[in-house]
Every structure is written in C-alpha cells, then in structure tokens.
Amino acid sequence: MTVHLKDIAAYTGVSIKTVSNVINGNYARVGPETRAMVLAAIEKLNYQPNIAARQLRKARVGVLAYAIPDIRNPYFTEIGDIMTRVAEEHKYTLLLDYTYGPRDPEPEGKIRYSDYAYGSLEKELSVIKGLRPHLIDGVILDPQALTMDDIKMEEVKGPLVLVGERLFGAPFDHVLIDNVQAAYQATRHLLEIGKRRIAVIGSQETQSQAPSLRTQGYSRALREAGIEVDEGLLISGGYWHRSDGANAMRYLLSLENPPDAVFCFNDLMAMGALSTINAAGLSIPEDIAVIGFDNIEEGQYAYPPLSTVSPDKEEISRLAVTSLIGRIQGTRTETPERILVPFELCIRASTVGSPANIQIHNS
C-alpha cells in the first residue's frame, strides 16, 4: 500500500502542509515536538517520497546526458570527460548514454569483431523521443543512424544539441568541424612530404557522413596536385576499430604496388595500420607514412607517435554544453545554428620521422 502525505497528516493530526515542510526540511515553522512526531510517523508508515513528481514540479533537475555511439572509441569518452567538467562548472551533472545496438548479421565466413555496432536507430530514437524531463533536462547527441525523416519536432522530448557528422539542417544547434577541409589539409601534408600513392582506410558508405566528407577533402587535394584518385586505394574501415585498420593495412601491403602513405579516417584504425606496418618490418614514415584523425591520447604513445587531425575537443565540448544549457534556461533563443569549431594538424613522427620535425598546423 502506497503511503501519501495525507495519510501521515491523518495519522499525526497535523496539516498536509506541515508534513510537507518536515519532508522538505523547512523547519522554521515547525516546532521540534511536531517535527519529531511527523518523522516518527514517516518511519512507522514507511513513507517513500515520489522523487519523479517532486522533480517534475521543480521543472529543471540539473542533469544533462551525452549520448555516444561507441564507448570503445576513446574519442567519444575523451569528449565526455571534457563535457563533464564543463557541465560541473555550470552546476550540472552529465550522464553518459550509449546508442550502440545489435549489429546486422554478417555473411557467413566474415569475422565478427563484436556483437554490437554503434549507431542503433532504435536507441537514437529512444534518446530523442524518450527524454524524461523529471530525470534529464536535455541531451547532446552524436547521431549515427537517424535521418531527417526520423526527426519529428512534436516527438522530441526536451532540448537537444547535435555533435558530429549527421543530420545537417536539423532544427537543433549542431557543433562540428569542417571535415572536408580537415581531410584536405591532412592529405596536403602527405603530398608535401613527397608521398604520391596515398591510400585511405575508412572510405565507405556508412550511417555517418564523415567518410564521404573526408573522402571529398582527400580527393580535392590529390586533384590539385595533379594526381588521379585510385579507387583501388580507397579501402573500407569496417567498424573503425584497431583490428579493422590492421586488416585493411594488411590488404594494402599485399598489393603489387602498395601505397607510400595512408590516411586513416580515425586514430584507432591508424593504430592498427601502424601495428601491421611494423610487423612487416617496414620503416615509418620512410616506406609508408601514416596520418590519423581525432588526436586521441593513445596516438601520442604509438610507435612511432601518430600524426593526426586534431579537432578542438575542448571547444566542441564547451559549445555543446553551454548551447544546451542556454536552451534549457531560455537564455539562448535565437534560431538553431551550425557551429563550426577549429581543428589543427598535429604532425608527429609517423609522417616526419625525427621528433625535431614535429609541428602543429592550425586550421
């Protein structure tokens, strides 16, 4: 049997308001004897407060959520760590949610790297349609599967900010980098160090638009250098994990004319590629140069240290969190906008060899 405030009031002979004051710690108008009597009744009747109802009445609960597609990818967890600190500065708590779900069955004979793939449409829909205002004030979502057709404003339950490379044009603030320009600069760097046969790992049709955008930048840099894009050097990156990069690199090394450089569309694949090249006894970057994307911390300690595109994760996190809080608090009322964040090239030994040559190029 559920015990309500009126039950405690009837049991003690005081008003419901007095019981409410005791429960909420408002003791100024409640004498010590009455307070003791109400507290004893609460314990005796095993009263359990309705937290959800109390939070609903407060309108805001001070909790944000960051929904990420892949907890195994350090890029997302590094962003989450920064967002947590930014949220705390604004007196909010940040929770992490994961939108990965069961992966489609693979053809017989294919290697299954995991039972789950990131970017479950069902999970992402549950994020935007199932926001519980008594538990969460708003969500930052990195979508991988949602399409514009899935976005129905009347079904979005609460403030929402997007990050990443999907749902361009959706009616929400969207924080991202210029992926085309970032890939262009990474490829230009490989050309500038004398590489001409440049392969890509991660160029495939996926739910995210990142592969397409980065391939555009790569292709533009090659065309400007007078080099025709070789479709045979555009290799799928599977699910963009280390093993996918290692397998793709193994295939590239088996070619009659292997590449002299590889642009991996994330650092995890680049880490796998480095491992395969090292195992083959080849020299990095003399035989094959490698550049990645994301600048995860692990890349600094790879062998050799990994050159990479470095999105400004601090700025991405700050803008996503503050934009969301502004929508929640009603201080950000302008039309939702796409917010471009800068990036830089972190040039390390995997493309220039000697540590003395390491440098940083800003976007």
pLDDT tens readout for residues 96-114:
888 876 555 444 444 343 4
* Residue 39 predicted with pLDDT over 60: yes
pLDDT band at 122 (very low <50, low <70, confident <90, very high): confident
Region 190-211: mean pLDDT is: 88
Distance separating alpha carbons of residues 298 and 27, to the nearest angstrom: 54
* Residue 334 predicted with pLDDT over 50: yes
* Residue 53 predicted with pLDDT over 70: no
User: Bridge-partner residues for 175, per DSSP?
Assistant: 163, 339
Phi and psi angles of residue 200, each rounded to the nearest 5 degrees, phi first: -125, 135
Looking at per-residue pLDDT, the higher value among 166 and 50 belongs to: 166
Query: CB-hemisphere CA count at 13 Å for 191?
Result: 16
Please tell me the predicted confidence (pLDDT) of residue 234: 96
Please tell me the predicted confidence (pLDDT) of residue 113: 39
Q: Which two tokens stand for residue 266?
A: 């994330």
Q: Which of 125-129, 275-279, 354-358 has the lowest mean pLDDT?
A: 354-358
* Residue 183 predicted with pLDDT over 80: yes
Please tell me the predicted confidence (pLDDT) of residue 263: 98
Candidates 5, 100, 9, 91; CA nearest to 53 is 5
Amino acid sitting at position 297: E
* Residue 10 predicted with pLDDT over 50: yes
Average pLDDT along the chain: 87
* Residue 90 predicted with pLDDT over 80: yes
pLDDT tens readout for residues 287-321:
999 999 999 999 999 999 999 999 999 999 999 99
Please tell me the predicted confidence (pLDDT) of residue 281: 98
Looking at per-residue pLDDT, the higher value among 221 and 154 belongs to: 221
Q: Which of 129-143, 172-186, 282-296 has the lowest mean pLDDT?
A: 129-143
Q: Which residues of 11-48 are buried (b: 16+ CB within 10 A; e: fewer)?
A: bbebeeebbebbbeeeeeebeeebeebbeebbeeeebe
User: Bridge-partner residues for 309, per DSSP?
Assistant: 293, 345
Percent of the chain at pLDDT > 90 equals: 59
Region 130-140: mean pLDDT is: 75
* Residue 120 predicted with pLDDT over 80: no
pLDDT tens readout for residues 346-356:
999 999 987 65
Q: Which two tokens stand for residue 139?
A: 């969500």
Please tell me the predicted confidence (pLDDT) of residue 105: 47
Percent of the chain at pLDDT > 70 equals: 83
Please tell me the predicted confidence (pLDDT) of residue 114: 44
Region 175-189: mean pLDDT is: 97
pLDDT band at 92 (very low <50, low <70, confident <90, very high): very high
* Residue 269 predicted with pLDDT over 90: yes
